[in-house]
Amino acid sequence: MSPAGSLRVFLVSLTLVTLCRSARASAWALDPSATRIEFSVRNLSVAHVAGTFRLASGHVTLDDEDPSRSTVEAVIDAASVDTNEPERDAHLRSADFLDAARYPTITFRSTRIERADGGRWKVTGELTLLGRTRPVSLDVDGSPTDGTRAGARATTTIDRRDFGMTYAGFAVGNRVAITIDAIGLPGPDTHADGSGGVPRFLAPS
């Protein structure tokens, strides 16, 4: 099973809303210790199986003058899958599912970012899982920022068969629901005047 998305990122919504016109771009690093990646899939024996993945790294670059030029990238540790059941987790890491020894990471790279209804955003990108790359669309909703960290929630659903994961047939659902609660920290930034550092428009007052 797997996120997408990397699923990776997703801060886009909130920071794009709070960006001011005096700056051209800002860079954010996703915090692996605070970002949570959850998945859920139907299972005939227990209704649904839920679990998590660990974010290895992630970056967001925001362009306030042209949001479509913003980018999101994320890398997920495939072997970090955790459903709170050691035997099941070992099976999920095996070649039957994630094949984590051969494909240790799941990656996401955005290809398009656009505004949606209600102040939300749609982030479309490419998810690479088991060596296969497929398009994935994330619905993103941001949360308030205090200037030192920003957060957003991204949701999507993928079909594991799109990535060649067909083990167990009907015993395991094909649709995998993914929720990502991402936390970003400000990184090196380029302002309109060329200076660097924490974005002025997000700095604490």
Q: Indicate which CATH number applies to the domain containing 21.
A: 2.40.128.110
For residue 34, how many C-alpha atoms fall within 13 Å in the half-sphere facing its CB?
13
Number of domains composing the chain:
1
Q: 47-51, 102-106, 142-146, 167-171: which has the minimum mean pLDDT?
A: 142-146
Sequence-distant (≥ 6) Cβ neighbours of residue 190 within 8 angstroms: 23, 24, 25, 26, 27, 196
- What is the value of pTM for the model shown? 0.78
| Residues 116 and 79: beta-carbon distance below 8 Å | no
Domain assignment of residue 57, given as a range: 12-192
Confidence of residue 147 (pLDDT cuts 50, 70, 90): low
Helix (H) or strand (E) holding 93: helix 86-93
Q: Is residue 52 part of a domain?
A: yes
Residue 203 lies in a domain: no
Mean pLDDT of 83-108: 97
Give me the pLDDT at residue 191, please: 39
Q: Evaluate whether residue 199 is within a structural domain.
A: no
Q: Is residue 205 part of a domain?
A: no
Tokens of 202: 């997000």
Mean pLDDT (whole number) for 32-37: 97
Choose among 8, 11, 5, 6: nearest CA to 144.
11
Alpha carbons 131 and 120: distance in angstroms, whole number? 31
In this predicted structure, the answer to whether residue 4 has a pLDDT above a threshold of 70 is no
7 found inside a domain: no
